[in-house]
Amino acid sequence: MKKVGGRIALLGAVVLLSLAFFIPSYSGLYGSLPDWLKRVFPNKGITLGLDLQGGIHLVLEVEEDRAVEIAVERNAVAMQDLLVEKKIPAESVKRTGPTQVTIAFQNGDLKAQIQKAMEEFPTFYEIEKVGTANSVVVELRDGEGKRIKDSAINQALETIRNRIDQFGVAEPLIQRQGLKQIVVQLPGVKDPKRAKDLIKNTALLEFKMLDEEHKLTMELPQRIPRGKEAEVLEQFKSKLPEGDEILFEKHLDKDTNQEFRFPYVVKKRVMLTGDVLSDARVSIGQFNDPYVSVTFDSKGAREFERITGENIKKRMAIVLDNSVYSAPVIQDRIAGGRAQITGSFTMQEANDLAIVLRAGALPAPLKILQDLTVGPSLGRDSIEKGIRSTLFAGAIVILFMVVYYRLSGVIADFALALNLICLIGALAGLNATLTLPGIAGIILTIGMGVDSNVLIFERIREELRLGRPVRLAVDGGYDKALLTIIDSHVTTLITGLALFLFGTGPIKGFAVTLCLGIAINLFTALVGTKVVFDVLNQRRKVEELSI
């Protein structure tokens, strides 16, 4: 009786544990529990997937060629800084092709010095046929270009994942697809537009100086209506000096609630980039306006102090994705590595900006190839049909087992109920995401839940036909069916593991429920039903078994 008592205690503990894990999934019951009891139970349960609770499905493509261009542009700035540091007077250093940088100079005697300086950029090589006596043209090596493209995909993947983690989406799916595509699934998102803007925003933060000395600054209009930016760029394109660009700052007129744009003449040279940021937080100004406070790392703090010290009384533009957020006058050298990004922010806009700055900039822009929004009504309909089909399948199986195996069929149905309770508890304990394929896996386990019992019962019948007593027939039936049951379960488990390892999204959801159902079914068939037969045989001598 001790062995039976131990197995009964084990079954009871498994059932209670499964129910404890499942309770947080049932929000109505979990919400009514007192606080002290909520601390006892887990705080997470089963999460519904995209197809059940709605959300967005995006297929994004990283513009990897633009990632190479951005890398070449940054190297061009670094080359110019190096020539200034070495006191080599170059006329211009600029990107003249997707992977080329041209260094022009007036004195041909400087060519050897510039070629020597370019040795500090081993990822570039000189194109001798293109260069002239007064210019040196260097090009990015092919291997480095491929490395930048591959790195851009991986960096974009990590950046998107960091942003979504801070955005607070439960169980997102973010994975690479093919060579340069990224699949993003966000279940339960209430504001798809905000989520997409947060993902797509490149968040390339740059600090540039305004060119206030050129006369074009006085000719530009003070403000223009939203949507007229292209007209202004076309109108003043011929007057724009080389090395400058026109960028716009968004401004919201609070009285009329109209959006305007302030144009600025900005020097193209980047003084500092956002990759030296260590933190970005939302703060509230003295007029209750939100702004983003940024903190630089040690290297960025030193550079920011040097830049502000060299440009006192000049205006610095804080540029994010080619839009000016603010252009304050530098009043004094700024030490301590802190700066502010102000603008016509709402609290949500400021919070989203802080998220993308903390998560880091994307290495290149993203292009949306596929954009699907799944409504919650479809999810509710899927859940109702899934529950209905599960109940229907379960009822048919229960009825068949009772009719065909009588009392033993009732015992098999007990094992089926135990199987479902343990499966739901295991899914909740793993914080698994339940999808439509996952529901299909649960329905499949209903059929498989009695499959093992059918094998056992047929072996018991054979033993009874040979004239063995009920107790020996039951033990013999379990012993003879054991290897067959283990063999069938292990082979199915191997298939489920292969689906989980090599499948994606919905296939993995099906594989999880299948593998858990197989493992739990093995436990309930060999332990759950056997203990019932053992209790019946120990409490009274059974002369005839209803099977």
Average pLDDT over residues 360-380: 74
* Helix 529-539 × helix 470-502 angle, to 10°: 170
Answer whether residue 208 shows pLDDT above 70. Answer: yes
Local structure of residue 414 (DSSP, 8 states): H
Query: What pLDDT shows up at residue 171?
Result: 65
* Beta-ladder partners of 125: 139
Strands 433-434 and 47-48: parallel
Query: What pLDDT shows up at residue 27?
Result: 61
Answer whether residue 393 shows pLDDT above 70. Answer: yes
For 169-189, give the secondary structure using H, E and C. Answer: CCCCEEEEECCCEEEEEEECC
Q: Phi and psi for 372 in degrees, rounded to 5?
A: -120, 130
Strands 244-253 and 323-326: parallel
- Report pLDDT digits (tens) over 488-506: 888 888 988 888 888 766 7
Query: What pLDDT shows up at residue 458?
Result: 86
In sequence order, which residues have a C-beta less than 8 Å from that of residue 490 and are 6 or more positions away? Answer: none
Other Cβ atoms within 10 Å of 392 Cβ, number: 11
User: What residue type is 12 in one-letter code?
Assistant: G
Q: Which of 166-180, 305-319, 366-380 has the highest mean pLDDT?
A: 305-319
Six token digits for residue 188: 């339960």
Q: Is 102 helix (H, G, I), strand (E, B) or coil?
A: strand
Q: Phi and psi for 228 in degrees, rounded to 5?
A: -100, 10
Same-fold call for 2-52+377-539 versus 65-139: no
Answer whether residue 64 shows pLDDT above 50. Answer: yes
Alpha carbon 383 to chain centroid distance?
25
Query: What pLDDT shows up at residue 266?
Result: 93
Contact by Cβ (8 Å): 427, 513: yes
The structural domains of the chain, with segments of one domain joined by +, span 2-52+377-539, 65-139, 201-358
Share above pLDDT 70 across residues of the chain, in percent, rounded to a whole number: 90
Contact by Cβ (8 Å): 526, 485: yes
Taking all residues of the chain, what is their mean pLDDT, rounded to a whole number? Answer: 81
Query: What pLDDT shows up at residue 434?
Result: 77
Query: What pLDDT shows up at residue 32?
Result: 67
Six token digits for residue 242: 């080389």
Q: Is 126 helix (H, G, I), strand (E, B) or coil?
A: strand
Share above pLDDT 90 across residues of the chain, in percent, rounded to a whole number: 2
Go through 256-277 and write b for each residue having 16 or more CB atoms within 10 A of its CB, e for each that does not. Answer: eeeebbbbbbbbeebbbbbebb
Answer whether residue 507 shows pLDDT above 90. Answer: no
Contact by Cβ (8 Å): 378, 54: yes
Six token digits for residue 209: 């100086």
Answer whether residue 40 shows pLDDT above 80. Answer: no
Answer whether residue 520 shows pLDDT above 50. Answer: yes
Measured distance CA(505)–CA(511) in Å, rounded? 10
Query: What pLDDT shows up at residue 36?
Result: 66
Measured distance CA(491)–CA(7) in Å, rounded? 27
Query: What pLDDT shows up at residue 419?
Result: 86
Answer whether residue 435 shows pLDDT above 90. Answer: no
- CA max distance for the chain: 113
300-306 long-range Cβ contacts below 8 angstroms, 24+ apart: 300/272, 300/276, 300/337, 301/335, 301/336, 301/337, 303/271, 303/272, 303/276, 304/207, 304/272, 304/334, 304/337, 304/339, 305/333, 305/334, 305/335, 305/337
Q: How many residues does the chain have?
A: 547
Answer whether residue 1 shows pLDDT above 50. Answer: no
Measured distance CA(186)–CA(177) in Å, rounded? 16
Q: What is the DSSP string of 338-388?
A: EEEE-SS--HHHHHHHHHHHHH---SS-EEEEEEEEE-HHHHHHHHHHHHH
Query: What pLDDT shows up at residue 359?
Result: 67
- CATH code for the structural domain at 201-358: 3.30.1360.200
Six token digits for residue 212: 């206030």
User: What residue type is 372 in one-letter code?
Assistant: L
Measured distance CA(495)–CA(472) in Å, rounded? 35
Average pLDDT over residues 14-22: 82
Local structure of residue 275 (DSSP, 8 states): G
The residue whose two tokens read 């080329």 is 100
In sequence order, which residues have a C-beta less than 8 Å from that of residue 236 and are 6 or more positions away? Answer: 216, 219, 220, 246
pLDDT band, very low/low/confident/very high, at 263 (cuts 50, 70, 90): very high
Query: What pLDDT shows up at residue 47?
Result: 73
- Report pLDDT digits (tens) over 69-128: 888 888 888 888 888 888 888 888 888 888 889 988 888 788 888 888 888 888 898 887
The residue whose two tokens read 């006192």 is 312
In sequence order, which residues have a C-beta less than 8 Å from that of residue 261 and are 6 or more positions away? Answer: 223, 224, 225, 226, 228, 229, 248, 249, 250, 251
The residue whose two tokens read 């989980």 is 500
User: What residue type is 110 in one-letter code?
Assistant: L
The residue whose two tokens read 């793993």 is 430
- Report pLDDT digits (tens) over 394-417: 788 888 888 888 888 888 888 888
For residue 56, give the nearest of 159, 201, 177, 197 by alpha carbon: 197
Measured distance CA(518)–CA(445) in Å, rounded? 7
Query: What pLDDT shows up at residue 30?
Result: 63
* Beta-ladder partners of 273: 206
* Helix 376-429 × helix 2-22 angle, to 10°: 140
How many Cα atoms within 13 Å fall on the side-chain side of residue 320?
20
Local structure of residue 505 (DSSP, 8 states): T
For residue 373, CA distances in Å to 57, 59, 507 come to 6, 12, 20
For residue 277, give the nearest of 334, 172, 204 by alpha carbon: 204
pLDDT band, very low/low/confident/very high, at 2 (cuts 50, 70, 90): very low
2-52+377-539 falls under which CATH superfamily? Multidrug efflux transporter AcrB transmembrane domain (1.20.1640.10)
- CATH code for the structural domain at 65-139: 3.30.1360
Answer whether residue 247 shows pLDDT above 90. Answer: yes
- Report pLDDT digits (tens) over 266-314: 998 888 887 777 788 888 877 778 888 888 888 888 888 888 888 888 9
